[in-house]
Amino acid sequence: MMSVFTEKKSIETIDHKFLISGHSHMECDTDHSVIERAKRKTTMKINHPYDWVQLMRSCKKKTPFIVKVLDIPDFYNFAQLLKGPLLMKEVNEDGVKFVWKEAQWLRYSSEAPGIHKTGLP
């Protein structure tokens, strides 16, 4: 998806940085905690995804959640790209094995198409 944006849109570079497991805290972690607390305190049954929407909209916090319900047209199928212009490779251009779970930073660039592992080795 990122490669498509840099190729077809006016975006030159996208840096996708991953947090190091166990050494991170993101703002969304606090949001998830608010939702989990609301779930524990409610007597409302969660039987359908829409029930989660209602629960999230009812959460008490400084800035209320803006919940957008997505429908089928809101989703894209990027699996086809792996059968065409993009290929999933196990080694990089230098023949060095690329281990996805060790990646901490990926760069997508319109100048050099493809995915480039940068940052820490």
pLDDT at position 52, please? 94
- The whole-number pLDDT of residue 121 equals 45
User: What's the rounded mean pLDDT across residues 6-23?
Assistant: 78
Domain containing 49 equals 25-69
Quote the pLDDT of residue 41.
93
pLDDT band for position 33 (50/70/90)? very high
- With a CB cutoff of 8 Å and minimum separation 6, the contacts of 51 are 44, 45
Confidence (pTM): 0.56
Check whether residue 29 and residue 58 sit in a common domain.
Answer: yes
Are both 13 and 40 inside the same structural domain? no
Q: How many structural domains does the chain have?
A: 2
